[in-house]
């Protein structure tokens, strides 16, 4: 009888731990910020950053050589039913900073009277994003920057 009680307590504890791990693994991590170090001229690095983004198919929206900052136009990435719009920001200081600004498109299930209305999609600013999607955005950038001799350091 004591053995059965201990086994039941163990199973209960095991199931609770498993449920907790499952619940925690479903959460999204915060959006990463990447840092790249360089040993070239700052203006050269800034123009190379622009060229890398254009090579990867991004359209440049803001290009400011005075402040060594640039950003891309909105790009959409899809994951099943969710659609994310993102913008890449690059700031060149003594290192290169890569940032993402992300919006998630949420379908608004309003009344049937607004079918076809543009108000059916709500844009929500996100500070969390699935790791797979972050990798889909950052990996090509990392590869191109490494090809040009930049050293990557990850910071959150």
DSSP 41-55: -HHHHHHHHHHHHHH
* Per-residue model confidence (pLDDT) at position 109: 63
**Number of neighbouring beta carbons within 10 Å of residue 52:** 19
* pLDDT at position 43 over 70: yes
- Which tens digits make up the pLDDT trace of 56-98? 999 999 999 999 999 999 998 876 567 889 999 999 999 999 9
**Residues paired with 82 in a beta bridge:** 79
Q: Kindly state the tokens that stand for 116.
A: 């076809």
Q: Residue 151: is its pLDDT beyond 70?
A: yes
Compute CA 117 distance to the chain's CA centroid, rounded to the nearest angstrom: 29
- Residue 111's pLDDT band, with cuts at 50, 70 and 90, is very low
User: What pLDDT, on a 0 to 100 scale, did the predictor assign at position 56?
Assistant: 95
CB atoms inside a 10 Å sphere around CB 35: 15
- pLDDT at position 89 is 96
Strands 95-107 and 33-37: antiparallel
Token pair listed for 78: 């899809």
Domain at 29-155, CATH class: alpha beta
pLDDT band with cut points at 50, 70 and 90 for residue 113? low
Judge if pTM exceeds 0.85: no
Tokens 């990850």 correspond to what residue? 154
């Amino acid at each position: 009888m004591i053995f059965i009680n201990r086994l039941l307590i163990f199973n209960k504890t095991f199931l609770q731990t498993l449920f907790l791990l499952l619940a925690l693994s479903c959460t999204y991590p915060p959006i990463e910020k990447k840092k790249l170090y360089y040993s070239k001229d700052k203006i050269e690095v800034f123009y190379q950053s622009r060229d890398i983004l254009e090579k990867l198919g991004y359209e440049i929206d803001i290009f400011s050589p005075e402040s060594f900052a640039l950003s891309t136009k909105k790009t959409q990435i899809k994951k099943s039913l969710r659609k994310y719009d993102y913008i890449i920001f690059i700031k060149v200081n003594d290192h290169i900073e890569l940032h993402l600004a992300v919006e998630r498109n949420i379908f608004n299930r309003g009344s049937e009277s607004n079918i076809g209305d543009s108000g059916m999609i709500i844009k929500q600013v996100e500070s969390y994003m699935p790791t797979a999607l972050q990798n889909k955005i950052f990996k090509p950038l990392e590869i191109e920057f490494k090809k040009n001799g930049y050293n990557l350091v990850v910071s959150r």
